[in-house]
Amino acid sequence: MQRRGSHDDRYKLNRFFFKENAWYVEIRDGIKGPFPRREDASQFLARYVHDKRVQATNDDDNNPLSQEIV
C-alpha cells in the first residue's frame, strides 16, 4: 500500500500550478503550458486523458493476443 503523499501516488491531487502569470499542468510527459486560465489547463488535461484512453483502447483492439479465438 502506498503512503499518502508519496511520489508514486496513482492520482495526483494538484497537477496545476501558477507561475509568472500563467497556468501549467504536470502530466507524465512533462509540464504543459503556459495556459492563460486554469480552466484552459484543465480542459487540456481532460482532452489529454481522453486521448490516452482512446489510444489504449485502440491498442487493445489491434493486439492479436487480446482478441478472442474463434
Q: Any idea which residue has 487480446 for its cell?
A: 66
Q: Which domain holds residue 30?
A: 16-60
Q: How far apart are CA 1 and CA 22, in angstroms?
A: 36
The whole-chain average pLDDT of the chain stands at 80
Q: How far apart are CA 19 and CA 21, in angstroms?
A: 6
- 10 in a domain, yes or no? no
pLDDT confidence tier of residue 23, bands split at 50, 70 and 90: very high
Task: Determine the pLDDT at residue 59.
Answer: 77
- 6 in a domain, yes or no? no
Higher pLDDT, 11 or 42: 42
Number of domains in the chain: 1
**Quick check: 29 and 12 in contact, CB under 8 A?**
no
DSSP 12-57: -S--EEEETTEEEEEETTEEEEEESSHHHHHHHHHHHHHHHHHHHH
| pLDDT (mean) for 5-29 | 78
48-67 pLDDT per residue, tens: 999 999 988 887 666 665 55
Q: pTM, whole model, 2 decimals? A: 0.65
